[in-house]
Structure 1
Amino acid sequence: MSRLRVLLAAAVTFCGTAVSTFAAETLHVYNWADYVSPDLVTRFEKENDCKVVIDTFDSNETMFAKIKAGGTGYDLIFPTSYMVKVMEQEGMLADIDKAQVPNLKNVDPEALTKVYDTKMAHSVPYTMGYAVFAYRKDKLKNVDSTWAVFARTDLKKRATLFDDMRETIGAALKQLGYSLNTRDEKQLAEARDLVIQWKKNIAKFDNEGYKAGLDSGEFILVQGYSGDLFQVAQENEKVAIAIPKEGVSIGCDQMVIPKNAPQAKLAHKFINFLLDADVSAENMEWMGYLCPNKEGLKKVSEDFLKNPAVNIPDAIKAKSEVLEELGPDLAKYTKVWDEIKAAK
């Protein structure tokens, strides 16, 4: 995500690893890249006489597979809402001890209507984000705010789509006028064919490199998360963000504590810290994602709230959807995704 912060995030991890032997406690976090301000991490470490070590994942499925396969030692994880449901059903999550998190009072009740765990029994909302696209204004002209942009033949293999079946198939479903949570096999087949058409115009399916590639000009069009693209656009005036008129996916990433977390108490402290109004406001301005923190939102700048990548237009929001956990029907998406990947 020049403020592309991969190096900073790596530095936080390295420093935490290098000096952890001198700290009373070490909090192990499994998170998306560039998803919490390094300055705030340092502040938390100083206030709690601890170290924070951050490992990153690039998709919910990658994270889940690692934990399912026996990946242990993490104290706090940041999955998207639909994956919280899967993890809870698998018995992976500890209860949230609300007595240890007094700042839960700052969570916007509206955000809880968008998530599976409406009572915050096992998870706490962290951010709200959207899957949109961005492009280089200096290299791609006459761009309409539609998912159909990926069908343009003048992309010349300088575009990327997510390496994420739910997001990429979902974008095609929205262009076709369908729900991105459809279980209808005919609709999924139509979406498959559309993505295969798009595939001819892109360089690759990608979850991480698109940020640096867009900034450098290697890529001229990318599908990406709103906060990530907000960060790139802040640093590069040649980058523009578009919110597709057909609608987008709405993601609520949440904070969860795995069962048997070595530092569950410290994990609760970190959740409470991130929910502090001043901390939340600073974190939002740094990472470019909206935190559903009603007190924190009173403290951010007007420019932040006016950015369409943060607050999408109401007309588009009405057409947008939260990704749902599909249960056995997820196999339908896996089949379609395998066919997309195999297509020439």
Structure 2
Amino acid sequence: MKALLLLLISVFPLPAAETLHVYTWADYVSPDVVEKFEAKHDCKVVIDTFDSNEAMFAKLKAGASGYDVIYPTSYMIEVMDAEGMLLDLDAAQIPHLKNIDSGVLEKIHDRSMKRSVPYTVGYAIIASRKDKSPSAATWAVFENAALAGRMTLLDDMRETIGAALKSLGYSINTRNEKELAEAQAVLLKWKKNVAKFDNEGYKAGLDSGEFLLVHGYSGDLFQVAQENDKVALMIPQEGVTMSCDEMVIPKTAKQPALAHAWIDFLLDPEIAAENMEWMGYLCPNTEALKKVSPEFLHNPAVTIPDEIKAKCETIQDLGADLAKYTKVWDAVKG
């Protein structure tokens, strides 16, 4: 019987499980949540990661395809939408769309969720080794020569130029060349003290004590602080960038139905609550927020003071004026 079964399988092979290809940021979906989705839909989820919106966009424009769900930040969705890269979503396949916080929808490009669905709201903040570095919550800490070689800034043009602009009291979306020149001077001053511009290694470096102060994403730093009580999270008093990462399905997706199922699964309140407690980012899901722990909501990486929140801004698409930022970034990195 066993031999016959093997013969039948060799002649009539079992159909391969469908594979969902996800392109997202590192540590952005709980492995347990992935396993639950795979079990529910009898499929395989393959996750590739990017470390900046610009790198992701450049890869896609260079011809990379095969991704079914991508997680751009709201401002990059404007660009991708204008380029005709995104599939219209079928709301009937995503019944949990009703859980998205309407207040967040008011701040993003696709308010009707025609082609994108909010996933997280996060901030670019700073964190330090509280046993070895100052506790002042200000962007001016990067001027501290005593920490030279032990600090990092994000290797992200808009985030890091935005930090310098905020330190000067300017908008992170300014088009004013004089203000951008001042931000460039600030960054060149900070550059003398930082070990490197980095989007990944800062987490392990802060945890180990290699770095004493880092600029990073709130969810990443939340995860480090959860595991290391020597790490303190700080929200610069001048304000920070606030971003909304969203889920989109590219027109080149090979599994659009499975992609819709993935988005709906992540919006399920039980799943969303589990997922956000693992990754450390707030999901704008009104029903899920009723299911998370009070400790999660009180964490400074998740809920920031109202007086600072009033100074926060979301990064916007600047169109042709983005070249002004590229010029500053090339001067700083060069």
TM-score, length of structure 2 as denominator length = 0.95
Q: CA deviation at 1:34?
A: 0.2
Equivalent of residue 225 in structure 1, options 194, 217, 226: 217
Aligned to 1:315: 307
CA distance in 1, matches of 2:48, 2:301: 26
Tell me whether 1:242 sits opposite 2:234 in the alignment.
yes
Aligned to 1:152: 144
Cα displacement string for residues 90-149 of structure 1 (whole angstroms, at most 9, x for unaligned residues):
0100001101000000001011012111110110000000000000011113x2110011
Tell me whether 1:215 sits opposite 2:207 in the alignment.
yes
Equivalent of residue 179 in structure 1, options 167, 171, 183: 171
CA distance in 2, matches of 1:112, 1:250: 14
CA distance in 2, matches of 1:269, 1:256: 12
- Counterpart residue type for residue 277 of structure 1: P
Q: Is the 8 A contact 1:23 1:49 kept in 2?
A: no
Aligned to 1:170: 162
Tell me whether 1:97 sits opposite 2:90 in the alignment.
yes
Q: Is the 8 A contact 1:29 1:54 kept in 2?
A: yes
Q: CA deviation at 1:23?
A: 4.0
Q: How does 1:109-120 map to 2 (within 5 A)?
A: 109-120=102-113
- Counterpart residue type for residue 26 of structure 1: T
CA distance in 2, matches of 1:46, 1:166: 39
Aligned to 1:81: 74
CA distance in 2, matches of 1:228, 1:156: 23
Residue 193 of structure 1 aligns to a residue whose secondary structure is: helix
Q: How does 1:1-344 map to 2 (within 5 A)?
A: 23-141=16-134, 143-342=135-334
CA distance in 2, matches of 1:178, 1:223: 19
Q: CA deviation at 1:61?
A: 0.3
Q: CA deviation at 1:156?
A: 2.1
- Counterpart residue type for residue 222 of structure 1: V
Task: Let me know the Cα RMSD of the aligned residues.
Answer: 0.9
Specify every segment of 5 or more residues in structure 2 that has no aligned partner in the other structure, as ranges. 1-13
Q: CA deviation at 1:24?
A: 2.1
- Counterpart residue type for residue 164 of structure 1: D
CA distance in 1, matches of 2:204, 2:305: 27
Q: Is the 8 A contact 2:129 2:230 kept in 1?
A: yes
Q: Is the 8 A contact 1:104 1:275 kept in 2?
A: yes
Give % identity.
69
- Counterpart residue type for residue 260 of structure 1: T
Give the number of equivalent residue pairs.
Answer: 321
- Counterpart residue type for residue 73 of structure 2: T
CA distance in 2, matches of 1:310, 1:22: 43
Cα displacement string for residues 178-219 of structure 1 (whole angstroms, at most 9, x for unaligned residues):
000000000000000000000000000001110010001110
- Counterpart residue type for residue 203 of structure 1: A
TM-score, length of structure 1 as denominator length = 0.92
Cα displacement string for residues 152-198 of structure 1 (whole angstroms, at most 9, x for unaligned residues):
00112111001111000100100100000000000000000000000
Residue 203 of structure 1 aligns to a residue whose secondary structure is: strand
Residue 277 of structure 2 aligns to a residue whose secondary structure is: helix
Residue 243 of structure 2 aligns to a residue whose secondary structure is: strand
- Counterpart residue type for residue 47 of structure 2: I
CA distance in 2, matches of 1:168, 1:308: 20
- Counterpart residue type for residue 335 of structure 1: K
Cα displacement string for residues 267-315 of structure 1 (whole angstroms, at most 9, x for unaligned residues):
0000000000000000010000000000000000000011111011100
Q: Is the 8 A contact 1:30 1:77 kept in 2?
A: yes
CA distance in 1, matches of 2:291, 2:275: 11
- Counterpart residue type for residue 122 of structure 1: R
Q: CA deviation at 1:22?
A: 7.0
Q: Is the 8 A contact 2:143 2:190 kept in 1?
A: yes
